[in-house]
Structure 1
Amino acid sequence: MGKLEIYKNDSFVLNDAFDQAVMNLHILKKQNGYKSFVICGCETGDGTTTVAINLAAALAGSGWNTVLIDGDMRKKNDYKRLNENASQGLSDYLMDRLLFEEIIYDTTTENLSYIPCGELIDNPVRLLCSGKMNKIREDLAKKFDFIIFDMPAINAAMDAKVMATDADATILVSSIGHTYKKSLLDAANTLKEVNANLIGTIINKTDMEQYVASHEEYDYFQNERYINKLTKKKRAKRK
């Protein structure tokens, strides 16, 4: 199999945001041994896949052997940019059509592997609850440092709820101007009902003004703002 192309994000602001996420996951791994994470939206359209891809790429960029798994077996591959050249994947393994090694794709990002969703399944919950799913979790844990599951929105299907019960932690994705407060609370409560380890929310689609307002010093070193502060101090001493 050829390598799948993973687009590179050149935005300093986005990279800064994902660096913070990587730091938090690194701490969780060091303190608690966490390595498997379910990423799911509160509602459809929250941008979960974009977040999962960037998070997995950022972890791989830190030198961790990482695998990104497309766990959405309900959505057609035509709507998934990474699956254009990867029609076989997780569902094919779970239905005993392919071996574990045959569904793992190399990518153009160093340290990052990818497992597509595979054949479209109308109701994949039974597959996600199967012994084969437990087996692949064990095999992934032996092979990778970080395992990122990109799952359908929690309020749209049961899939993420099922996966969250066995993952080390779950992260909800919400988006500015799209996710209602009620949807966020409903999603959190749904995960709480099954004792899933919800560790936080990533807020997607934040505009520049909102990001700067909450991270005033995000470009402190990039724009060498410390030089201006040092100059002001020197001037003050001269006076």
Structure 2
Amino acid sequence: MTLFKKKKKPLQKAARKLITVDNTKSIISEQFRTVRTNIHFSTADNDLRSILITSSSPSEGKSTCAANIAVVFAQEGRKVLLIDSDMRKPTMHHTFRLNNGTGLSSVLTRQAEIADVVMDTAIENLHVMPCGPIPPNPAELIGSQTMKALIEQLKLEFDLLVFDAPPLLSVADAQILSNECDGTILVVDTGSTEKDSALKAKETLQSANARILGVLMNNYALAKDHYYYQYYGTSE
């Protein structure tokens, strides 16, 4: 069953640098592929179809990580949809130079169809659903039956859904959505995230019965002037 027709749109290069596209042989790109491999290992007996990427606080790099994780899964040959579910401070339309006139919020408020908001990218197998106009009630839309139905519809068309969600300790959106996704990855900035904030974020996910796949350590100093991303196994 096909939910939308293939659209012939001009494909633009990403406006923001995606290391997994621009430098596939870098140590950072390799770490993102390690993230992908570890996700496979952590879900060997289950069909993982949706992943939520979030953080405890703003500016920890979760949107950049979400985009690069979506890219490495697409490079593997899976048909991936990256969904900007941060309906407070969306960024994916900037990253991929897309029109944000319609998007997720438009579908949830029944002002657009799925076919109108799923965008092609220059990266093979990777599609993006931008946020759309910022609504006055993001949490209500995220927790609606319409959102649940949308996720099930999208799973008919795509192999993997990757959600970029708002920070956990700022608003309730990510906590609500984590319960609807097959797995959640918590991004932690090793240079700025406080331990108490990371632990509180973990507890917030656990209270929502989210399946925490692991923690992605962002901006970890490997050596002078070198940084990499490291993924650790299932959190307990």
Matched, 1:2 2:16: no
Once the two structures are superposed, what CA deviation does each residue of 1:181-216 show, in whole Å capped at 9, x if it has no partner?
00000000011111111121001112332889999x
1: CA distance, partners of 2:132 / 2:217? 28
Does the 8 A contact of 1:39 with 1:170 survive in 2? yes
Match of 2:140 among 122, 126, 129: 126
Alignment-derived partner of residue 48 in structure 1: 62
Does the 8 A contact of 1:67 with 1:147 survive in 2? yes
The structure whose Rg is larger is 1
Matched, 1:166 2:180: yes
Task: Structure 1: state its 5+ residue gaps.
Answer: 216-239
Match of 1:196 among 210, 215, 220: 210
213 and 51 in structure 1: CA distance in 2 versus 1, 3 angstrom threshold: closer
Tell me how many residue pairs correspond in the alignment.
Answer: 215
Deviation at 1:146, TM superposition (A): 1.2
Matched, 1:94 2:102: no
Give TM-score scaled by structure 1 length: 0.83
Once the two structures are superposed, what CA deviation does each residue of 1:17-74 show, in whole Å capped at 9, x if it has no partner?
0111111223345421111010001111100000000000010001111110000111
1: CA distance, partners of 2:86 / 2:129? 11
Alignment-derived partner of residue 38 in structure 1: 52
Deviation at 1:147, TM superposition (A): 0.8
Deviation at 1:9, TM superposition (A): 3.4
Matched, 1:16 2:30: yes
27 and 77 in structure 1: CA distance in 2 versus 1, 3 angstrom threshold: closer
Secondary structure of the structure 1 residue equivalent to 2:96: helix
Task: Structure 2: state its 5+ residue gaps.
Answer: 1-8, 231-236
Identify, as 1 or 2, the structure richer in strand: 2
Deviation at 1:122, TM superposition (A): 3.0
Alignment-derived partner of residue 227 in structure 1: none
**Between the two proteins, what is the percent identity of the paired residues?**
30
Secondary structure of the structure 1 residue equivalent to 2:162: strand
Structure 2 residue identity aligned to 1:3:
L
Does the 8 A contact of 1:74 with 1:123 survive in 2? no
157 and 24 in structure 1: CA distance in 2 versus 1, 3 angstrom threshold: same
88 and 4 in structure 1: CA distance in 2 versus 1, 3 angstrom threshold: farther
Written as runs of structure 1 = structure 2, the 5 A alignment for 1:57-72 is 57-72=71-86
Does the 8 A contact of 1:37 with 1:167 survive in 2? yes
Matched, 1:75 2:89: yes
Does the 8 A contact of 2:106 with 2:132 survive in 1? yes
Give TM-score scaled by structure 2 length: 0.84
Secondary structure of the structure 1 residue equivalent to 2:45: helix
Does the 8 A contact of 2:96 with 2:121 survive in 1? no
